[in-house]
Amino acid sequence: MQEITKESIDKILSAYPRDRRHSLAMMQDMQHHFNYIPEQGMKALAEYLDCPLSSLYSMATFYRALSLKPKGKHIIKLCDGTACHIRGSVNLITGIKRELDISPGETSGDGLFSLETVNCLGSCALAPVMVIDGVYYGKVTLEKLPEILNQYRELSEGGAEA
């Protein structure tokens, strides 16, 4: 995650004209840069566009891909669609809760992991499916879960990016 500074926010905003139609794109860029949209980013955006902060917040809370809370370094997306649900995704949610002490929508205390449940990842034949930082894991079992999560812990400890 990048440090949040006025300069880094201004750099994102100045890449766009002062036009409200670009507000979603600016929020997406902040999300990508900081791994969430910081409060100071929202305030700077409202000032930059000369629009009410409340209208930006309504947009940011409407889109599920945007987050107003810091997310972990590694984003776990766990499918809970029909095929995955039938094949045990609920057990995996329980396993992640046991391993990381987080529920869907939460971030681990060490800031390494965030858990999101999604309706479909388009890989039903591999159910249950989990994606971490864009890497797909199919036919995940409770037994495989600690090994998968430890890979990301080790990456973080080694200072390498996932």
What was the pLDDT predicted at 162?
Answer: 45
Kindly report whether the global pTM for this prediction surpasses the value 0.95.
no
pLDDT digits (tens, 9 = 90+) for 43-101: 999 999 999 999 999 999 998 789 998 889 999 999 999 999 999 999 999 999 999 99
How many whole angstroms separate alpha carbon 156 and alpha carbon 23?
33
Domain definitions of the chain by residue range:
6-62, 74-157
| CATH topology (fold) of 74-157 | Glutaredoxin (3.40.30)
What was the pLDDT predicted at 60?
Answer: 95
pLDDT grade for 155, boundaries at 50, 70 and 90: confident
51 is in an annotated binding site: no
79 is in an annotated binding site: yes
How many whole angstroms separate alpha carbon 87 and alpha carbon 81?
10
